[in-house]
């Protein structure tokens, strides 16, 4: 499997002198019939390692030796700790804490949103999700999973003996909260730790690098007193970040802001955030039904998911409230057909709909252009948002009443040089913020 091409062969590592490896800053990965692989860093001193001996031993021509750049010191360090921990009969809490804290520190500085600990058939792997993509970071012996799993469970106050049932817990580390989920699998367990608020990931409108015409739309949106504003895009396109940023800007002493979320992801001061919980009769629909009695000025509906939530959003925005909501759709025009499919009253829609912003996240080129420690040798660091903003002017409102509204709107937008997501993305390619390949991958998915 491609993901595990860096699987460390521990017997191979142990065939080297560890003190030499430490001095040379090289970590052997494995040797098979074709390749001899090593983790190295820019400071590695290969001369200290007798490569000629390695080549002789496995009878390989020199070009079959492969090197992979990595955060070398930490890798060797963690490897050493895992070996010492495995040798002990009882877990040494201090050594384990040290090991785990180094790992968390690495995850936070790598800007990870999730840490995955997976037990595989013959080993265990630790993967970090960074900028929406999973990357394998560390591989250890399979036996080590139990040690890590017990420690994580102890840390998050879970039942250490339970491995046959899923469990949920929490813990904190350097003022950051982590949510833990364990799940039994055929090879043992999968443990996922969600980083609830990684300070290294600045998710605000500015850091998302929206183009100026989209920023202009956001400014207009935050000056609205009433109406409906929809933010659309697939899962993981940064919709909630945009919504939270807009809510933060709308939040002021003279306004009552209520959000209906499932679940609440970030807490915003002074905003009345309602966490949907279907189990305790705080269900989505019952909250929606009662929301207007709370006398709000601004309402955020986490997601419009059906005809009922749409009808509440439309009614509220017609009666003097500003309603912001997200909805699953591929583009701004696609959103309009989605609304009509959900049996939206067209007259109500024409009277209330103000903006539809459709967005996607594309990987941002790292300043290094080829690979460095910061971007984990991927060449990409962070993400930028590409978007399109459809202003529902009087023309568009009039088209909504027609049967062939989609064709009419499309033609009208074309005539008015409407900038689509793809246009915005191509601009970002020109500005060297991302690549054409990445743009097409994201836009066509």
Pairing of strands 322-327, 298-301: parallel
Q: Cβ 130 to Zn ion, closest distance in Å? A: 12
Q: Cβ 374 to Zn ion, closest distance in Å? A: 5
Question: Residue 246 or residue 366: which is nearer to Zn ion going by CB?
Answer: 366
Q: How many residues bind Zn ion (CB under 5 A)?
A: 5
Question: Residue 96 or residue 108: which is nearer to Zn ion going by CB?
Answer: 108
Q: Cβ 7 to Zn ion, closest distance in Å? A: 25
Backbone angles phi, psi at 441, to 5 degrees: -60, -45
Q: Cβ 375 to Zn ion, closest distance in Å? A: 3
Instruction: Compute how many other C-beta atoms are within 10 angstroms of the C-beta atom of residue 225.
Output: 9
Question: Residue 167 or residue 434: which is nearer to Zn ion going by CB?
Answer: 434
Closest by Cα among 303, 347, 368 to 329: 303
Contact criterion met (CB below 8 Å) for 38 and 27: yes
Show contacts with Zn ion in window 345-384 (CB under 5 A).
366, 368, 372, 374-375
Question: Residue 375 or residue 387: which is nearer to Zn ion going by CB?
Answer: 375
Tell me the DSSP string of 225-238.
SSEEEEEE-STTSS
Question: Residue 259 or residue 434: which is nearer to Zn ion going by CB?
Answer: 434
Q: Cβ 371 to Zn ion, closest distance in Å? A: 6
Rounded CA gap, 107 and 271, in Å? 30
Contact criterion met (CB below 8 Å) for 178 and 161: no
Bridge partners of 300? 259, 324
Question: Residue 1 or residue 367: which is nearer to Zn ion going by CB?
Answer: 367
Would you call 352 helix, strand, or coil by DSSP? helix
Bridge partners of 180? 169, 193
Question: Residue 157 or residue 437: which is nearer to Zn ion going by CB?
Answer: 437
Q: Cβ 74 to Zn ion, closest distance in Å? A: 17
Q: Cβ 359 to Zn ion, closest distance in Å? A: 25
Show contacts with Zn ion in window 177-216 (CB under 5 A).
none
Rounded CA gap, 211 and 6, in Å? 39
Pairing of strands 112-119, 188-195: antiparallel
What residues make contact with Zn ion under the rule CB under 5 A?
366, 368, 372, 374-375
């Amino acid at each position: 499997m491609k993901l595990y091409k860096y699987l460390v062969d521990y017997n191979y590592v142990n065939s080297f002198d560890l003190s030499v490896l430490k001095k040379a800053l090289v970590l052997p990965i494995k040797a098979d019939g074709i390749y001899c692989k090593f983790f190295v860093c820019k400071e590695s001193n290969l001369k200290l390692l007798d490569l000629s001996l390695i080549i002789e031993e496995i009878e390989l021509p020199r070009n079959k030796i492969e090197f992979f750049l990595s955060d070398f010191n930490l890798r060797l360090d963690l490897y050493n700790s895992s070996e010492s921990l495995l040798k002990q009969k009882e877990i040494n809490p201090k050594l384990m804490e040290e090991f785990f804290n180094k790992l968390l520190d690495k995850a936070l500085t790598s800007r990870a949103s999730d840490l995955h600990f997976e037990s595989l058939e013959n080993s265990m792997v630790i993967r970090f999700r960074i900028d929406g993509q999973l990357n394998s970071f560390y591989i250890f012996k399979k036996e080590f999973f139990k040690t890590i799993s017990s420690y994580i469970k102890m840390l998050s106050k879970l039942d250490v003996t339970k491995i046959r049932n899923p469990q949920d817990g929490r813990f904190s580390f350097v003022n950051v909260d982590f949510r833990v989920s364990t799940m039994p699998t055929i090879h043992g367990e999968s443990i996922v730790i969600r980083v609830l608020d990684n300070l290294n990931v600045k998710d605000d409108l500015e850091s998302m690098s929206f183009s100026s015409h989209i920023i202009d739309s956001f400014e207009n949106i935050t000056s609205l007193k009433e109406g409906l504003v929809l933010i659309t895009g697939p899962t993981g396109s940064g919709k909630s970040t945009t919504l939270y940023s807009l809510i933060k800007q709308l939040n002021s002493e003279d306004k009552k802001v209520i959000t209906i979320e499932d679940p609440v992801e970030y807490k915003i001061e002074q905003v009345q955030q309602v966490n949907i919980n279907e189990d305790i009769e705080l269900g989505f629909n019952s909250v929606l039904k009662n929301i207007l009695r709370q006398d709000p000025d601004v309402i955020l509906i986490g997601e419009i998911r059906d005809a009922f939530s749409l009808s509440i959003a439309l009614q509220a925005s017609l009666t003097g409230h500003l309603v912001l909501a997200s909805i699953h759709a591929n583009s701004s025009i696609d959103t309009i057909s989605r609304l009509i499919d959900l049996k939206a009253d067209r007259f109500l829609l024409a009277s209330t709909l103000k903006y539809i912003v459709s967005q996607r996240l594309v990987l941002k080129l790292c300043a290094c252009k080829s690979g460095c420690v910061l971007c984990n040798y991927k060449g990409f660091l962070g993400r930028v948002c590409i978007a399109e903003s459809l202003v529902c002017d009087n023309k568009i409102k009039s088209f909504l009443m027609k049967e062939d509204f989609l064709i009419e709107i499309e033609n009208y937008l074309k005539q008015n040089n409407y900038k689509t997501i793809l246009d915005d993305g191509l601009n970002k390619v020109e500005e060297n913020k991302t690549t054409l390949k990445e743009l097409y991958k994201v836009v066509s998915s």
